[in-house]
Amino acid sequence: MNIGLLGFGTVGKGVYDITATHPDLQVTRVLCRRDLTLPDAQVTHDFYDILNDESIDTVVEVLGGLHPAWDYVKAAILAGKNVVTANKALVNHFYDELIPLVEQSGVKFRCTAAVGGGIGWLTELERVKRIDTLSKVGGIMNGTCNYILDNMTTKGLDYGVALKQAQELGYAEADPSADVDGPDTWNKTIISANIAFDVSLDKTSVPVCGIRNISAVDVAEFTKRGYVCKMIGTAEKGEHGISAYVQPTLVPNGEPAAAVPMNYNLISMVGSNSGPRSLFGQGAGRYPTAYNVVQDCVDVLNGVGFYASYGQPVAANNDVALSYYVRGASDAWLEGNVSESWGEGVLTKPVAVAEMHAWLKQHPDAFIAAVN
């Protein structure tokens, strides 16, 4: 396999290093903004040097973002090149165009590192589906949020202090919005649901809220009551359709998710034959992520394509009702749905997930967490 590598940052360098130890995988050209010299690959600033190189059969995209990454991926597929990516935003945002285009073009496409980094979550979904039917997928999918929440729980840190530590360690970006406000988990949850259930969820119907407004007061209240707060994405096949949502969730002490430390991920599935099972590991990092990118290259080399057939777009029919901890705002609707007081916050009666998220949009300074 001759690989055109798009990007030479953290993950791109890892891909280059790992493929160097496998003689059947050769990175021959690298797209990079910087000027650098590599011993066995040509470095270019022009994507078309890769696109027009007929010897390159596979393009690996680790640039991140939507553009120009999507423009390059689309052009590569139309040119008959296989594509491997770690870009969850690209896969989710363009899913309804990307997967049909791959099927029509007859190329191979893989994106294992896009969900769970080094865990290999999507390949496990693919394997389970061969003989099982999945009813639920989801879990802790964002290491930045988990690092912040874990340190708030175990060390009593306030949100701002925990976030600053995450930034200093490289777990969080200078602008942490994609992590702490939930888009990263949202992308991963929708991709997981699409593959698990052979559908394409209506993204506008999948609500998301993050951890930005959590405080040490909240965490202390949860600890007192035997709960740990985690950022969790959930997708479940129910009687009336598929529900999917992303939100802070209170997990009882003793549950596996409650014990997930630092920047680790724990992603779970429920199968009709296999029952509940979870995968635990590094959700990010140079070599864990690059490992699954290279695994995808090996799969492509062996003729393995995408994990699921493209399913027609469907609405995420959200008829799930949960109780929520709420602090920081109140109105007549909330007062009418209070079950009990929890310190500076309240616990609601079971309310529809969509209804609770709609309320939160009207009260952006509030913090909510579902009670598992």
Instruction: Report the candidate in 65, 112, 85 with the shortest Cα–Cα distance to residue 3.
Output: 85
pLDDT-derived band of residue 240, with 50, 70 and 90 as boundaries?
A: confident
331 burial via Cβ count (<10 Å: 0-12, 13-18, 19+)? exposed
- The verdict on whether 136 is a catalytic residue reads no
Instruction: State how beta strands 2-6 and 58-61 pair.
Output: parallel
Total residue count of the chain as it appears in this document: 372
CA distance 103 to 32: 29
Name the token pair of 252.
Answer: 């009882």
- Answer yes or no: are the C-beta atoms of 147 and 138 closer than 8 Å: no
Say what the pLDDT of residue 85 is.
98
3-class secondary-structure state, position 273: coil
Residues facing 58 on adjacent strands: 3, 82
Please, which pLDDT band fits residue 178 given cuts at 50, 70 and 90? very high
User: Residue 76 in contact with residue 83, Cβ under 8 Å?
Assistant: yes
What value does the mean pLDDT take over residues 48-74? Answer: 98
**For range 186-190, the mean pLDDT:** 98
Is residue 148 within 8 Å of 159, Cβ to Cβ? yes
Two tokens, residue 186: 């949202």
Give the rounded distance of the alpha carbon of 321 from its chain centre. Answer: 24
Q: Rounded CA gap, 341 and 325, in Å? A: 9
Q: Are 208 and 249 in contact (CB under 8 A)?
A: no
Between CA 256 and CA 248 the distance in angstroms is 16
Q: pTM of the predicted model, to two decimals?
A: 0.97
User: Can you tell me the distance from the alpha carbon of 74 to that of 82, in angstroms, rounded to the nearest whole number?
Assistant: 11
Cα–Cα distance between 214 and 280 in angstroms, integer?
25
3-state helix, strand, coil split of the chain in percent (to 5) is 40, 25, 35
247: Cα separation from own chain's centroid: 13
Question: In angstroms, rounded to a whole number, what is the distance separating the alpha carbons of residues 320 and 110?
Answer: 32
What are 121-146's pLDDT values in tens digits? 999 999 999 999 999 999 999 999 99
Task: Name 41's Cβ contacts closer than 8 Å, sequence gap at least 6.
Answer: 5, 16, 27, 28, 29, 30
Mean pLDDT, the chain, rounded, equals: 97
What domains can you pick out in the chain, each with its CATH number? Answer: 2-110 (3.40.50.720), 121-282+310-371 (3.30.360.10)
Question: 135: burial class by Cβ within 10 Å (0-12, 13-18, 19+)?
Answer: middle
Which residues are within 8 A (CB) of 126 and not within 5 positions of it... i.e. 6 or more apart? 195, 307, 308
DSSP secondary structure of 1-64 = -EEEEE--SHHHHHHHHHHTT-TT-EEEEEE-SS----SSSEEES-HHHHHT-TT--EEEE---
Q: How confident is the model at residue 233 (pLDDT cuts 50, 70, 90)?
A: very high
Distance (Å, whole) CA 139 – CA 146 = 11
Instruction: Please identify which of the residues 188, 203, 224, 349 carries the catalytic annotation.
Output: 188
Model confidence band, residue 287 (pLDDT cutoffs 50, 70, 90): very high
Q: Would you give the DSSP letter of residue 258?
A: G
Q: What pLDDT band is residue 239 in, cutting at 50, 70 and 90?
A: confident
Mean local confidence (pLDDT), 316-325: 90
- At 226, the pLDDT band (50, 70, 90 cuts) reads very high
- Whether 318 has a pLDDT exceeding 80, the answer reads no
